[in-house]
Amino acid sequence: MRTVNIHAAKTRLSSLLEAVERGEEVVIARAGKPVAKLVAFTKPARRRKPGLLRGKAWAAPDAWDPDPELERLFYEGDPRFPSVLDEPAEDRSAASENSDT
C-alpha cells in the first residue's frame, strides 16, 4: 500500500489511478496522517429478483404435516439410545461420586 501526501496526489492523480487499476491501494495523507484511501471500484452485486423460481419449485401437499414417527421419537426417545435420565437416581449419584476421584 502506497502513501502519498495531498499535494503529490493532486499532481499525480492519473498515475495513482493507474496503480489502483492494477490492484494497489493508495492512502492519501495530510501532514503524515491518513485521511483517504483510493481503492478500485467494484460493481455491486446484482440484487436478487423475488419470485425467480415461481412455478419451478414445489413441495408435496403433506410436506408440513406432522410426522407421527418423529413425534414419537421426540417425546418417547429411541430405545437404541437410552437416556441417562432413564437410570435410577441412586445409580446416577454413585456414578457422579466415582467421577470426583
- At 49 the pLDDT is 86
Residues of the chain with CATH 3.40.1620.10: 2-38
- At 94 the pLDDT is 61
Q: Summarize the chain as % helix, strand, coil (round to 5).
A: 40, 15, 50
- At 52 the pLDDT is 85
CATH code for the domain defined by 2-38: 3.40.1620.10
Q: Which residues of the chain are under the pLDDT cut of 50? A: none
At 60-88, the pLDDT tens digits run 999 899 999 999 988 888 888 877 766 66
- At 14 the pLDDT is 95
Specify the 3-state DSSP secondary structure of 26.
strand
Q: Which three cell numbers stand for residue 32?
A: 503524515
